[in-house]
Structure formats: structure tokens, C-alpha cells
């Protein structure tokens, strides 16, 4: 068997087309343009690149992005204050705090300064719990993108065994909760897991999100499994691609799989936030 | 092999002894008594019994309990308003909303009206996320009790495979997150799981929380496993006790296992809330 490709580039392009139409419609109807505020702290070149990519994508779909760049030396209080201003700003629909932030800053405190109604990157406690309880809040961008990719290919989830390798608060943990909400049986593995090969071999759906290149050997993959590699690190994923593709039924390439879905999810959630936001503005000014 | 008993009555009695000493110390030092507000909506006899048991336990450890009983016919807004008052009341340290509430009420909205600093029953989204992210908030009472029971018997967790059967927002989901935070490999099973027997057979630690008497057959239990039965329904658990006890290394009886740990956790969290609350009172009135 050779796996079919889960083509994140094609699926995300279709999502971005839809978002572009929705943005044009929104702007025409309400006389203002949906706006994503991006907050970047410090000089990390990779973070700068990511923020620039997101701003470019905003421009491509007709959204505004407002870039806030802050000195690496600022403290938690300054960052929290700045994010609270954005949360209160009626011209801002969504807020993205590029992470990781420098180590001396309390990242959790900064995340929690984001109004959950503007948490289009799905990083707050409220968003996490809404994902876990299937309450329809904003999803963490990469987990939301993974679910959209699975749905685009009609991958069945109820009753199937999904194995998530990795447990970060914005990737492994939330994607497991989203899979559980869709009635999959869900196993979380991580660096302390004993017998990782045996756990992976049981996966009908595997989500590799460890960020350790080549951690998942192709020979571990159950024949016919669906393999999602979210372990991007310098164009290499967590999964031995060629060997895994011989056994899997579907597999994401790296790059071109999960990555493009992340930004598409971010922007799809931003136009949704703008609409919800507009409704609240209208309701509060009757 | 015959399993050792995980004696929830004995462990909870020790916790309540400690709480009693802490309450006396707190009352002596601050001139006020820690207070748990219990909110009960409607006439369900079982709910009345649970609230009475909790009030009795409060009295036994020297805490105040303030019972609020509301008519079954009230709406969500009234309940939310009443809980918000308790959240703002400086004489209230902890709030327990007895659930389930009548079906016409939005239970989630009622839970979210509880100030997370007073959420000693661990039902808010914020508490769930803090459990999931290992951030030290209040635990859902039964999951917190299960973890305390495992710790009382020094059950090792890192790298071991914990299987949770059940995924309710206040039991299955949070106990899985707490086990994951303690470095267990965690599998969530539920009513849609295919091959439940195979999943259960892999458990080094099994938490049965389905509320379906006898669902877990004794012969499924891996020899030497630790079995936690949280599936209380009329003195019967989810696990076939006698057959499971022949294979397990440790097992909770029903009743006398998880049940008493739940109330002990609630009261231990209430004295902790009172202390934190007192600290905030002092800080805000310098």
C-alpha cells in the first residue's frame, strides 16, 4: 500500500478562498475590515518570520493585521497591560501572541490577558476547556487545523483509536481533547511513555506532535492507519516518512501537511471572531 | 494474588483530621470561620442527601456551611445571579453547586459564575485547564480524591499506562489530565470505544468512571494492576469486584473507596481557599 496524501496546501487554499469571500462581505456590510493584532516580544528570527507569514496571509485575504513589536527586556506586567489594551480595543477582532515569549516572562499570565472572545489562536484556559467540553469556542490553531484536515478527507473518528504523541498545552493536549469529543478512543504518549512502539502500533489515527525528528519509525505504523505529522522542526517531521507512507492509508507530508492548516485555521477563526464581535457591538449600542 | 484494599475511609479520615486542625488554627488566627456555601436547586432526594452529608462533614471539621436552597423552577439568570453574589461575598470562601441542576438550566453558565478562587469543587473551565496544565488550581473533587488515594499508597505513575473509562467533565476528563500531568501514559475509553476489553487489559492503573454497574469484567484486569472504581451507582461500582480483586495488586472497595475521598478533597480545598482568600483580604486592605 502507498498512502494517499493529506494535502494541507490544497485544503488550506480552499479555506482561505472562503475566508477571503467572507472578509469582503463583512467589510462591505459593516464598513470596517476584520483586524488581527499580532504581538511579538524580542528578536527571535524564527518568530519574526512566523509573524511576517501570518501578516502576509492576512493581507492576501483582505484582513488588517496590526503588528505590535515589544522589546525582549519588557516584563510580564508590561506585556499583560499591552494585551489587555488590545482585548478592550473595539477595532481589534483577534489577538495572536507569538510564542514562546522570552523565559523571564510569565507566558500563561500573558495568554490569560487575551479576551477569550478574541482568542483566535486558542491559547487561553477558557479556550482549552471549551475544546475539551465540546463547547464550540476557538481552537488552538494547529489542533483545529488537524481536525479540519481529517474532516476534509472524511476520516472516520467515532470508536477508532487515536494516539497522540506529545502533550504541549497548545498542540498535543488540545488535539487529544478534540479527538475525544469526536468519539475517538484517545491515548496520550510522551517522553516518559514506556513502550512507545507498542502504543503507536495500536493507532488507527496517529498524531505525532513531539517535535523530535524521526522519533516515530515507519515499521511501527499499523497498516491502514492515518498518520498526521505535526512535529515540524526544520522541514523534518516526527515520522520516518517514506517507511510510514508504505503502511499508512493517509499521511501528511512535511512540509505541506499540517503547517498550512494552522494559518488557515487562525484566519478562519479571526473572521468568525469579527462577526461575533460585530454582533456584540450592535447589541450593546441598540 | 488478592489485592490490597485502597482504604478511602482511612485515608479520608486522616485528611479530615488535618483539615480540622487547620480550621481551628485559621479560626483562632483570623477571628472568622472558613465558610463553604452549598447551592441546591430543586427537590431531588439524592442531591439533598449529598448536600446534607457535606454540611455534616463541614460541621465535623469546624467549618461553617451556608445552605442556599432554590426552587426547581428558577431560571439560569436567577441561579447565575445568586452564585455571582456568593462569588463576591467576602464571608464565603468556597462555593459548591450541587449538580446535576434541573435540565432547563444552563449548568455551564452556572458553573462559570463561580469565582475560580472559590471553585473548591473544581467545576469551572479555569479549574479544568489548570488541572490539565498542572498549574496548581483546585481539582474536581473526585479526581482530586483519586490522586490523593493513589499517593497515600505510593502508587507509581510515571511511564505507566493509565486507562480511564468515562469522560464526564468533572470526573473522567479531569482525572485523565491529572494522571497525564503526573507522567502516566493515558488512554480515555468511553461508550463508543471499540474493543474495551483490550484497552482495559493494558492498564497498569485503571480508573473506572462510567457509572455502569459491572461494565468492567474481572477477567479483563491485567495481573498486578491498580484498580480505582469511581463508578458509584447505588452501592455498586463499574468493576466486577470479586473477580477483579483476584488479579489486581490494589483495589478500591465500593463503598468506602473513592466516595469518602471526594468529600475530604472538597473540605481540604475549602480550607486552602480560605487561606488564599485571607491573604488577598490582607493585601487589598493594607
In the stretch 144-173 of chain B, residues with CB closer than 8 A to chain A read 158-161, 167, 169, 173
Interhelix angle A172-181/A141-152, rounded to 10 degrees, is 40
| Average pLDDT of every residue of chain A | 96
pLDDT at A284 over 70: no
Instruction: Please confirm, yes or no, whether B54 is among the known catalytic residues.
Output: yes
Distance from CA of A174 to the nearest CA of B (A): 10
The CATH code belonging to domain A141-260 is 3.40.50.720
Q: Where in chain B is the domain with CATH 3.40.50.10860?
A: 30-115
The x, y and z cell numbers of residue B135, run together, are: 498549574
Question: Nearest C-alpha of chain B: how many angstroms from A27?
Answer: 33
- Give the range among A233-242, B179-188, B246-255 with minimum mean pLDDT: A233-242
pLDDT at A129 over 80: yes
> Which position among B93, B115, B119, B121 bears the catalytic label?
B121
Give the confidence band of B233 by pLDDT, cuts at 50, 70, 90: low
pLDDT digits (tens, 9 = 90+) for B77-100: 999 999 999 999 999 999 999 999
A182 annotated ligand-binding residue: no
Please, where in chain A does CATH 3.40.50.720 lie? 141-260
A238 as an active site residue: the answer is no
Q: Most B CBs within 10 Å: which of A158, A188, A204, as the mutation test of the B interface? A: A188
CB contact A210 to B (< 8 Å)? no
B157, B192, B198: which to substitute to probe chain A, counting the most A Cβ within 10 Å?
A: B192
Catalytic residue among A93, A115, A119, A121: A121
Q: What is the pLDDT of residues A216-233, one digit of tens each?
A: 999 999 999 999 999 876
Residues 72-91 of A with CB under 8 A from B: none
Closest partner residue to B128 (CB to CB) among A108, A132, A192 is A132
**B96 - beta bridge partners?**
B38
Number of inter-chain CB pairs under 8 A, A vs B: 88
- Does the pLDDT of residue B186 top 90, yes or no? yes
Mean pLDDT across the stretch A129-133? Answer: 98
- Reported as a single tens digit per residue, the pLDDT across B37-72 is 999 999 999 999 999 999 999 999 999 999 999 999
- What is the C-alpha R_g of chain A? 19
A108 touches chain B (CB under 8 A): yes
Tell me what ipTM this predicted complex has: 0.96
Q: Where in chain B is the domain with CATH 3.40.50.720?
A: 141-258
Of A9 and A282, the structure prediction assigns the larger pLDDT to: A9
- Cβ of A183 within 8 Å of Cβ of B194? The answer is no
Report pLDDT for A236: 86
A chain contacts of residue B180, beta-carbon cutoff 8 Å: 167, 173, 188, 190
Measured between beta carbons, which residues in chain B are less than 8 angstroms from residue A130?
125
Q: Is A222 on the interface with B (CB under 8 A)?
A: no
Residue A118 annotated to the active site: no
Cβ-defined contact of A185 to B173 (cutoff 8 Å): no
Chain A contact for B222, CB < 8 A? no
Whole-number pLDDT of residue B216: 98
Question: Which residue from B minimizes the CA distance to A179?
Answer: B188
Which 3-state string (H, E, C) describes chain A?
A: CCCEECCHHHHHHHHHHHHHHHHHHHHHHHCCCCEEEEEEECCCHHHHHHHHHHHHHHHHCCCEEEEEEECCCCCHHHHHHHHHHHHHCCCCCEEEECCCCCCCCCHHHHHHCCCHHHCCCCCCHHHHHHHHCCCCCCCCHHHHHHHHHHHHCCCCCCCCEEEEECCCCCCHHHHHHHHHHCCCEEEEECCCCCCHHHHHHCCCEEEECCCCCCCECHHHCCCCCEEEECCCECCECCECHHHHHCCCCEECCCCCCHHHHHHHHHHHHHHHHHHHHHHHHHHHCC
Inter-chain contact A159–B129, Cβ cutoff 8 Å?
Answer: no
Question: In which band, very low, low, confident or very high, does the pLDDT at B284 lie, cut at 50, 70 and 90?
Answer: low
| Nearest-CA distance B55 → chain A (Å) | 30
Contact A193 B159 (CB under 8 A): yes
In chain B, whose CA is at the least distance from the CA of A128?
A: B129
Q: Is B66 annotated as a binding residue?
A: no
State the DSSP H helix or E strand holding residue B95, giving kind and residue range, or none if neither: strand B94-97
* pLDDT of the residue at B67: 96
pLDDT value, residue B234: 65
Active-site option among B98, B222, B229, B269? B98
pLDDT at A1: 67
Q: What is the pLDDT of residue A233?
A: 66
Give the cell for residue B109. 453558565
B115: its cell numbers: 469565582
For A158-184, how does the pLDDT look when each residue is reduced to its tens digit (9 = 90+)?
999 999 999 999 999 999 999 999 999
CA distances from B63 to B22, B39, B57, B59 (A): 10, 16, 8, 6
Q: Measure the CA–CA gap between B35 and B66, rounded to whole angstroms.
A: 7
Chain A residues whose CB is inside 8 A of the B210 CB are: none
Is B199 part of any known ligand binding site? no
Contact, A141 vs A128, CB < 8 A?
A: no
Q: Do A193 and B185 touch (CB under 8 A)?
A: yes
pLDDT for A259: 94
For residue B185, the chain A residues in CB contact (below 8 A) are: 187-190, 192-194, 199
Distance from CA of B195 to the nearest CA of A (A): 9
Question: In CATH, what class is B30-115?
Answer: alpha beta
pLDDT at A281: 79
Q: What is the CATH number of domain B141-258?
A: 3.40.50.720
Query: What does the pLDDT look like over A36-59, one tens digit per residue?
Result: 999 999 999 999 999 999 999 999
Q: Is the pLDDT of residue A235 over 90?
A: no
Amino acid at each position: 500500500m502507498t498512502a494517499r496524501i493529506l494535502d494541507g496546501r490544497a485544503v488550506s487554499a480552499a479555506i482561505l478562498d472562503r475566508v477571503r469571500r467572507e472578509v469582503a462581505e463583512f467589510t462591505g456590510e459593516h464598513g470596517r475590515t476584520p483586524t488581527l493584532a499580532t504581538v511579538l516580544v524580542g528578536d527571535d528570527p524564527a518568530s519574526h518570520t512566523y509573524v511576517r507569514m501570518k501578516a502576509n496571509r492576512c493581507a492576501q485575504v483582505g484582513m488588517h493585521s496590526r503588528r505590535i513589536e515589544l522589546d525582549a527586556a519588557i516584563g510580564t506586567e508590561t506585556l499583560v497591560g499591552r494585551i489587555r489594551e488590545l482585548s478592550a480595543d473595539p477595532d481589534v477582532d483577534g489577538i495572536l501572541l507569538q510564542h514562546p515569549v522570552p523565559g523571564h516572562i510569565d507566558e500563561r499570565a500573558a495568554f490569560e490577558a487575551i479576551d477569550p472572545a478574541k482568542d483566535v489562536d486558542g491559547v487561553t484556559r477558557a479556550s482549552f476547556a471549551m475544546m475539551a467540553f465540546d463547547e464550540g469556542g476557538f481552537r488552538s490553531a494547529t489542533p483545529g487545523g488537524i481536525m479540519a484536515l481529517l474532516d476534509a478527507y472524511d476520516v472516520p473518528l467515532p470508536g477508532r483509536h487515536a494516539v497522540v504523541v506529545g502533550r504541549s498545552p497548545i498542540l498535543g493536549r488540545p488535539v487529544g481533547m478534540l479527538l475525544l469529543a469526536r468519539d475517538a478512543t484517545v491515548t496520550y504518549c510522551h517522553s516518559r511513555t514506556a513502550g512507545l512502539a507498542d502504543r503507536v502500533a495500536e493507532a488507527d489515527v496517529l498524531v505525532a506532535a513531539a517535535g523530535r525528528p524521526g522519533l516515530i519509525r515507519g515499521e511501527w505504523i499499523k497498516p491502514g492507519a492515518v498518520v498526521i505529522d505535526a512535529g515540524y522542526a526544520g522541514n523534518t517531521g516526527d515520522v520516518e516518512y517514506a517507511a510510514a507512507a508504505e503502511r499508512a492509508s493517509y499521511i501528511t507530508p512535511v512540509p505541506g501537511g499540517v503547517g498550512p492548516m494552522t494559518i488557515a485555521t487562525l484566519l478562519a477563526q479571526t473572521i468568525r471572531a469579527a462577526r461575533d464581535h460585530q454582533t456584540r457591538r450592535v447589541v450593546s449600542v441598540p
